């Protein structure tokens, strides 16, 4: 079927958005593809249309169950019913029915969480089918260097091999050049040329306000709402649940602004209720942690305010990018204070394991090695007393290194290789590097907040794009006419050398400063005179 005809018949669209047709054409031609498409650019349509054009069952790996549900509902509304979601919400009977439907070979798209692909029985079922396309949505989750690393994604490369390497389509809206390379390496498609459609969203107006303390932040909020600088409905993001509750209370009680609060600990019915209030514009704002937003299909969000400093430029642009998907002017405002970095550093500390924690988990598995069926995730958590997030990172690390295996559903045991080579050293160097890398990304976020240059250029440079205009006309610095041109002599993607940090890649320049990404330490902002175009031999 002609692609444009299929687009019109199946989805009711008269034309493709930028990048969509190129992605579908490559995928249908059997070419592995990494597509970096801006938030709101219609990534999901690229694999939905491709799946309908290809013969067989397309597997779509999606990180969030809520996203799967949205996709299923949307496809059913279009009359496309040959789809199945396979995730942890299914009862035993529902899972059996889903497996039977998939086994019949009549399903066009199977949505699955990466954790479900750790189930070898389910992978064996897929191996019996014709799988023409394997889609990895939110692909930055596979990269150690991505802002949203998810351990279960690390197993996807092995699953792709087991399925006979179907065509791979990886999709994300936020990936720096370093993350792109890592995605391709992890998925086993290293020489794939990415399709990158500009990150620039000209209708988004970027601004930053610095506060001295928390009460100062509330005063800034008051000036934004009372001064009618914010129109329509929008989202206010906070770093913690505590802040979300306080801000919502302040809006409601002091400013008489109708607002609801949203966070991960809300009951399901409350989450649905807040979502409906927001979609129906019965409230002006949702005050939320980063639990809110993915899959929110509301094109006329007029503002996104960050009440706290996010942990990275990727996280910021993903969340701010939910504004103005209808193409109309929308405000993206960051309110911050210097101490905000303490909260983000606290989150980072809880994320990465140290050697002792890994050895504790390995030792527990070794102690119970004779136990039939292995050790459950629940028991490992009780014995190790580790946070679930950190425990999952450790298990993914041990599994990737070949030390452990899943013996059954959510149970783990040591591999023969681990038992035979007890003296193998557990290498955590890459996690130490990842920790310092993430801390450098937080420093970049702070740099965005404090730059006197064009904020649009800052964001685009971060994602590897040049921005030629001296004044974007749509950020607070450019509107004030306070930006300065670069004088460093370096350009984005230049390879440079530093005597201590080694080889790196120029990510951005501002005046006589150059920000370089070094593989060993992450982002460093240096004087242009501190680096050179050639390595200096001592």
Compute the distance between CA of residue 457 and CA of residue 410 in angstroms, rounded to an integer: 46
Residue 124 pLDDT: 95
* Average pLDDT of every residue of the chain: 87
The last residue of one of the domains, among 133, 165, 196, is 196
Q: Is residue 470 part of a domain?
A: no
Range of the domain at 68: 3-196
Q: What is the pLDDT of residues 139-168, one digit of tens each?
A: 988 876 666 777 788 889 999 999 999 999
Task: Please say which residue of 173, 196, 219 terminates a domain.
Answer: 196
Check whether residue 310 and residue 455 sit in a common domain: yes
pLDDT per residue as tens digits for the range 257-307: 999 999 988 888 898 899 999 999 999 999 999 888 766 778 899 999 999
Dihedral sign for Cα atoms in the order 475, 478, 479, 482: positive
Stronger pLDDT, 470 or 204, i.e. the higher one:
204
Q: Find the CATH number of the domain harbouring 494.
A: 2.30.30.140
For the chain, helix (H) and strand (E) counts, in that order, are: 20, 20
Cα–Cα distance for residue pair 404/198, rounded to 1 Å: 42
Report the candidate in 514, 357, 343, 527 with the shortest Cα–Cα distance to residue 432.
357
For residue 408, pLDDT over 60 is answered with yes
Same domain, 31 and 166: yes
* Residue ending a domain, choose from 147, 172, 196: 196
State mean pLDDT over 379-408: 83
Q: Does residue 258 share a domain with residue 295? A: yes
Sign for the CA dihedral angle at 395, 396, 401, 403 comes to: positive
Based on the domain organization, do 321 and 418 belong to the same domain? no
The end-to-end CA distance of the chain, in Å, is 63
In a shared domain, residues 382 and 490: no
What pLDDT sits at residue 482?
A: 66
Query: Domain for residue 272, yes or no?
Result: yes
23 and 143 together in one domain: yes
For 99-131, write each residue's pLDDT tens digit. 999 999 999 999 999 989 988 899 999 999 999
Same domain, 255 and 362: no
Q: Is residue 376 part of a domain?
A: yes
In a domain, 287, yes or no: yes
Residues 29 and 165 in one domain: yes
| Whole-number percent of the chain with pLDDT over 90 | 47
Rg of the Cα atoms in the chain: 24
CA angle 400, 170, 353 (to 5 degrees): 30
| Whether residues 76 and 155 fall in one domain | yes
What is the DSSP code string of 195-254?
Answer: EE-----TTEEEEEEE-SSHHHHHHHHHHHHHTT-S-S-EEEE-SSHHHHHHHHHHHHHT
Judgement on whether residues 123 and 88 belong to the same structural domain of the protein: yes
Number of domains in the chain: 4
Query: Residue 486 pLDDT more than 60?
Result: no
pLDDT given for residue 1 in this prediction: 56
Q: Are 488 and 453 in contact (CB under 8 A)?
A: no
In a domain, 434, yes or no: no
> Which pLDDT does position 173 carry in this prediction?
83
Give the pLDDT band of residue 461 (cuts 50, 70, 90): confident
Q: Judge if 188 and 207 occupy the same domain.
A: no
Q: State the pLDDT confidence band at 357, using cuts at 50, 70 and 90.
A: confident
More confident site: 460 or 401: 460
CATH number of 109's domain: 3.40.50.300
402 lies in some domain? yes
pLDDT digits (tens, 9 = 90+) for 325-350: 888 999 999 999 988 888 888 777 77
Higher pLDDT, residue 460 or 370: 460
Q: Which residue has the higher pLDDT, 46 or 465?
A: 46
* 54-56-58 Cα angle (round to 5): 80
- Strands 33-36 and 195-196, by their bridges, are parallel
Return the pLDDT at 358: 83
Q: Rounded CA gap, 224 and 238, in Å? A: 16
* Nearest-angstrom CA–CA distance, 217 and 310: 15
Residue 47 is predicted with a pLDDT of 96
Reported as a pLDDT band with limits 50, 70 and 90, residue 425 is very low
The pLDDT value given to residue 132:
97
438 within a domain of the structure (yes/no): no
Q: What is the CATH number of the domain that holds 396?
A: 1.10.10.10
Predicted confidence at residue 484, as pLDDT, reads 59
Pair 247, 363 in one domain: no
> Is residue 435 one of the residues assigned to a domain?
no
């Amino acid at each position: 079927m002609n692609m444009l005809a299929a687009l019109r018949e199946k989805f009711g669209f008269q034309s493709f958005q930028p990048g969509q047709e190129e992605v579908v054409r490559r995928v249908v031609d059997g070419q592995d593809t990494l597509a970096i498409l801006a938030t709101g650019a219609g990534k999901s349509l690229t694999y939905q249309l491709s799946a309908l054009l290809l013969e067989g069952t397309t597997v779509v790996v999606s990180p969030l169950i809520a996203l799967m549900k949205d996709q299923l509902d949307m496809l059913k509304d279009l009359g496309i019913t040959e789809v199945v979601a396979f995730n942890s919400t299914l009862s035993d009977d529902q899972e059996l029915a889903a497996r039977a439907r998939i086994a019949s070979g009549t399903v066009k798209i199977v949505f699955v969480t990466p954790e479900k692909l750790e189930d070898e029985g389910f992978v064996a079922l897929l191996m019996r089918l014709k799988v023409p396309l394997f889609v990895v949505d939110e692909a930055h989750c596979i990269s150690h260097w991505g802002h949203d690393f998810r351990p279960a994604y690390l197993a996807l490369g092995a699953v792709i091999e087991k399925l006979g390497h179907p065509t791979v389509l990886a999709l994300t809206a936020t990936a720096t050049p370093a993350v792109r390379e890592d995605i391709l390496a992890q998925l086993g498609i290293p020489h794939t040329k990415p399709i990158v459609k500009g990150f620039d969203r000209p209708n988004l107006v970027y601004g930053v306000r610095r506060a001295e303390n928390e009460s100062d932040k509330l005063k800034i909020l008051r000036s934004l709402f009372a001064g009618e600088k914010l129109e329509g409905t929008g989202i206010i993001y906070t770093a913690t649940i505590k802040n979300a509750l306080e801000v919502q209370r302040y809006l409601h009680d002091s400013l008489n602004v109708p607002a609801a609060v949203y966070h991960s600990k809300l009951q399901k019915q409350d989450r649905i209720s807040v979502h409906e209030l927001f979609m129906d514009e019965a409230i002006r704002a949702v005050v939320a942690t980063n639990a809110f937003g993915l899959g929110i299909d509301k094109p006329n969000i007029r503002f996104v305010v960050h009440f706290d400093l996010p942990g990275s430029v990727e996280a910021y642009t993903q969340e701010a990018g939910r504004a103005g998907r209808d193409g109309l002017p929308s405000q993206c405002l960051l309110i911050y204070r210097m101490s905000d970095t303490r909260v983000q550093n606290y989150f980072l500390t809880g994320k990465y394991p140290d050697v002792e924690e890994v050895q504790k988990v390995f030792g527990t598995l070794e102690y119970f090695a004779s136990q039939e069926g292995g050790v459950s995730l629940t028991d490992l958590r009780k014995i190790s007393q580790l946070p679930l997030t950190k425990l999952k990172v450790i298990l993914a690390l041990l599994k990737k290194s070949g030390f452990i295996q899943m013996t059954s559903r959510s149970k783990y045991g040591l591999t023969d290789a681990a038992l035979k080579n007890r003296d193998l050293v557990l290498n955590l160097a890459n996690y130490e590097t990842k920790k310092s890398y993430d801390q450098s990304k937080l420093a970049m976020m702070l740099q965005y907040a404090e730059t006197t240059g064009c904020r649009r250029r800052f964001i685009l440079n971060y994602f590897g794009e040049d921005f030629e205009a001296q004044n974007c006309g749509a950020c607070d610095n450019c509107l004030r006419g306070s930006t300065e041109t670069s004088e460093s002599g370096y350009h984005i993607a230049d390879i440079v050398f530093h005597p201590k940090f080694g080889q790196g890649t120029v990510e951005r320049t501002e005046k006589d400063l150059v920000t370089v990404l070094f593989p060993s330490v992450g982002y460093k902002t240096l004087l242009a005179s501190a680096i050179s175009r050639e390595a200096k031999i001592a």
